[in-house]
Amino acid sequence: MTIDTMNNVKRLAKFLGCPFTEEEEAKDAVQGIITLCSFENLSEIHKHGNFRDDMPNKLFFREGKVGDWRSHLTDGMSHVLDEITEEKFHDLGISF
């Protein structure tokens, strides 16, 4: 997603059955969505407030950097997640 965000957002919209019209693309709607959904924008919006009384919104945001999970998961945790992912998605023909 981060390498070619514009085309990936278009592909995702098409996959979800809501492709962008030529008019929407001409009005930079795709870029608008990318901006609204950016990590920087969402983390700023959710810095304050709580998801629940005991769970502040800021718990859902970290650095927003690709690969930051390595700072939070051990090798063992990563291995378990890889196994679960393979088990759940093996029938889709996706290789990880």
Q: What local confidence, expressed as pLDDT, does residue 41 receive? A: 83
Q: What local confidence, expressed as pLDDT, does residue 60 receive? A: 75
Q: What local confidence, expressed as pLDDT, does residue 1 receive? A: 73
Answer whether residue 83 shows pLDDT above 90. Answer: yes
Strand-pair partners of 87:
none
Strand blocks (E) in 1-96:
50-52, 55-56
Q: How confident is the model at residue 8 (pLDDT cuts 50, 70, 90)?
A: very high
Q: What local confidence, expressed as pLDDT, does residue 91 receive? A: 85
**Each residue of 23-77: pLDDT tens digit?**
999 999 999 999 998 888 877 777 777 778 888 877 777 767 788 888 889 999 9
Can you say whether residue 68 is alpha, beta or left, with left for phi > 0 and alpha for psi between -120 and 50 degrees?
Answer: alpha
CA angle (17, 91, 64) in 5-degree steps: 60
Task: Check residue 94 and report its DSSP letter.
Answer: -
79 to each of 52, 75, 94, 96, how far by Cα in Å? 31, 6, 18, 12
